[in-house]
Amino acid sequence: MTYQSEIAKADSLIGGQAGWDGIAPESVARMRLQNRFNTGLDIARHTAKIMRQDMAAYDADPAAYTQSLGCWHGFIGQQKMISIKKHFGSTKRRYLYLSGWMVAALRSEFGPLPDQSMHEKTSVPALIEELYTFLKQADARELGMLFRDLDAARAAGDEVKAQKISHDIDAYETHVVPIIADIDAGFGNAEATYLLARKFIEAGACCIQIENQVSDEKQCGHQDGKVTVPHEDFLAKIRAVRYAFLELGVDDGVIVARTDSLGAGLTKQIAYVREAGDIADQYNSFLDCDPVDPATVGHGDVLISRDGQLLRPKRLPSNLYQFRPGTGEDRCVLDCITALQNGADLLWIETEKPHIGQIGGMVRRIRDVIPDAKLVYNNSPSFNWTLNFRQQVYDAWAQEGRDLAAYDRARLMSIDYDETDLGREADERIRTFQKDAARDAGIFHHLITLPTYHTAALSTDNLARRYFGEEGMLGYVKQVQREEIRQGIACVKHQNMAGSDIGDDHKDYFAGEAALKAGGAHNTMNQFAA
């Protein structure tokens, strides 16, 4: 659709209606262009196509990986996308991530919660809807400014400029991008997962991430005590999500299957085995068991038979069963292959550290079976990136036989190492981690789950320290407002960002010369025009 074609369509519609003389076709066209997505399903279908195209581009060239930051409020997501468009000219291959952790910590009506699926089921779809409301408003604001520039160019008789602006309107790139939304472990059984997935999709989500932990025993991905479920249980939930996509007409919706098996040493269930070697039998083969003499079987013992041998799985007072130590990677690989063979599109392997060799080793095993397997990876703030990468460099240099006398591995976090060769090498590896991991470890999408949680805390601490200290008002002006002006941060005109100008435009449409508008010489936004 073009600007002129929308005007022509509106003109044709209005001309056939008695009493619509006060409705301007160009104003209708502007409002339609400012609101290109009427429903969340429109958004989900639009963004699903984007993700599928990006996945194909990555398969052709791993340098075409994608990225996102986790956002816990619509405004945060909006400002992120405005920033990306300002600095890079395009939103291509940049998404939003919606973390269940941040919903639990910041958006639950219960108050701050740990990441254990205790927040309200409706919290995540509500945040998806909120994010897209803010992204659509960013479109309306930016297009509104183009329309104002167009009117000014026409008023000045500058046809060349008017034509250029019209072209910019037709070529406009929306702030609406894919959201990868965390449905945790599905909040209950497969039916509950399906019902919640529908809410996600209706709110606009084209991509849903689901994990193989026990729903009512879920733990944060980087903490101990995680409990997995047998594959059939997890696959039922994957199918439930796919059914939700298909029911709502988002046929190319994307499912990310997350495995927490690397850090999960427990299971709640012994899988039901139909025949030797099936997926349930493979799951049970990782159980930590002791051989049992039938004569010594105790009251209440749970026993399994394998290859003619009677075994007692190690069972905790919590009724959970233990896996054998050191089986995490093998279980991850099996989880990933099974998920992709049963309807998942992308993988997520939750690791305890950001190590390309570890991730890549598992991915190569998965790709031996499924060559185009791709990962979504959590560049987690739970990792101490500085320490991890300094340790990796230290260990690599030790293997090479380099002199490490100047370094103490137990003190590598120290500021003393910031400007050393080791510190600089570690920082360079951190800088190129995403590019290197996309090439060597099959990572299609890199995200940081909780960055804006930490930036909000850091910036608020810095402002509070300065404003309530000796700097007083200068603490705000120097560190915030002056930097906003000099860096071109759109929010310095906060009335404009909140929609004041959009409202004035609508008043013009609705009331013409009688409109009472916020614009004019005394509008404080004019102070920031220079």
Please name which of 191, 335, 322, 189 lies closest in space to residue 258, comparing C-alpha atoms. Answer: 335
Cα–Cα distance, 351 to 212 (Å, whole number): 14
pLDDT tens for residues 443-467?
A: 999 999 999 999 999 999 999 999 9
CA dihedral of residues 126, 128, 134, 136 (deg, nearest 10): -120
**pLDDT above 80 for 227:** yes
Q: Which residues partner with 505 through β-bridges? A: none
Co-location of 426 and 486 in the same domain: no
Higher model confidence: residue 21 or residue 231? 231
pLDDT for res 117: 76
Q: Which of 220, 289, 332, 336 is catalytic?
A: 220
Same domain, 89 and 109: yes
For residue 464, being part of any structural domain is answered with no
Helix (H, G, I), strand (E, B) or coil at 52: helix
Is residue 307 in some structural domain?
no
Contact 359, 388 (CB under 8 A): no
On whether residue 313 sits in a domain, the answer given is: no
CB 378 within 8 Å of CB 449? yes
- Quote the CA–CA distance of 530 and 526 in Å, as a whole number: 8
Classify residue 190: in a domain, yes or no: yes
The neighbouring-strand residues paired with 376 are: 445
Both 358 and 498 in a single domain? no
Residues 206 and 352 in one domain: yes
CB 280 within 8 A of CB 272: yes
Structural domain includes residue 121 = yes
494 and 355 within one domain:
no
Q: 77 and 51, same structural domain?
A: yes
9 and 66 assigned to the same domain: no
From 171-175, 294-298, 503-507, 512-516, the region with the lowest mean pLDDT: 512-516
Rg (CA), the chain: 28
pLDDT bracket for residue 119 (50, 70, 90) = confident
Are the C-beta atoms of residues 412 and 387 closer than 8 Å to each other? Answer: yes
Answer yes or no: is pLDDT of 526 > 80: no
CB burial of 345-365 (b: ≥16 within 10 Å; e: otherwise) equals bbbbbbbbbbbbebbbebbeb
The whole-number pLDDT of residue 515 equals 77
Q: What mean pLDDT, rounded, does the chain reach?
A: 94
pLDDT of residue 221: 58
When mean pLDDT is compared across 15-19, 124-128, 374-378, 403-407, the lowest value belongs to: 15-19
Residue 458 lies in a domain: no
Assess whether pLDDT exceeds 90 at residue 387: yes
Judged against a pLDDT cut of 60, whether residue 223 lies above it is answered with no
The answer as to whether 193 is a domain residue is yes
pLDDT given for residue 308 in this prediction: 86
**Domain ranges, residue 129:** 45-266+327-403+422-449
Q: Are 196 and 259 in a shared domain?
A: yes
22-53: burial string, b at 16+ Cβ within 10 Å, e else: eebbbbbbbbbbbebbeebbebbbbbbebbbe
Who wins on pLDDT, 48 or 490? 48
Residues 12 and 67 in one domain: no
- Rounded to whole angstroms, the Cα distance separating 312 from 291 reads 6
Q: Indicate whether 99 belongs to any domain.
A: yes
Contact (CB, 8 A) for 353 and 388: yes
Contacts of 262 (CB under 8 A, 6+ apart): 328, 329, 331, 332, 349, 350, 351, 352
For 79-131, strand residue ranges (E) read 94-98
Where does the pLDDT of residue 294 fall: very low under 50, low under 70, confident under 90, or very high at 90 and above?
A: confident
Q: Are 231 and 255 contained in the same domain?
A: yes
Q: Looking at beta carbons, which pairs linking 156-161 to residues 24 or more positions away fall under 8 Å?
A: none
Sheet (strand 289-291) strand order: 289-291, 309-313, 304-306
Instruction: Tell me the average pLDDT across 111-115.
Output: 81
* Pair (102, 138) in one structural domain: yes
Q: 249 pLDDT band (50/70/90 cuts)? A: very high
Is residue 411 predicted with pLDDT exceeding 80? yes
Give the pLDDT band of residue 219 (cuts 50, 70, 90): low
Q: What is the band of 493 on the pLDDT scale with cuts at 50, 70, 90?
A: confident
CATH of the domain at 200: 3.20.20.60
Is residue 289 annotated as a catalytic residue, yes or no?
Answer: no
The answer on 56 and 29 residing in a single domain is no
DSSP 171-204: TPPPS---EEEE-TT-SSSHHHHHHHHHHHHHHT
β-pair type (346-349, 309-313): unpaired
Domain count, the chain: 3
pLDDT: which is higher, 241 or 501: 241
DSSP-derived pairing of the beta strands 289-291 and 309-313:
antiparallel
C-alpha closest to that of 491 among 47, 176, 30, 76: 76
Comparing CA positions, the residue from 85, 7, 21, 22 lying closest to residue 515 is 22
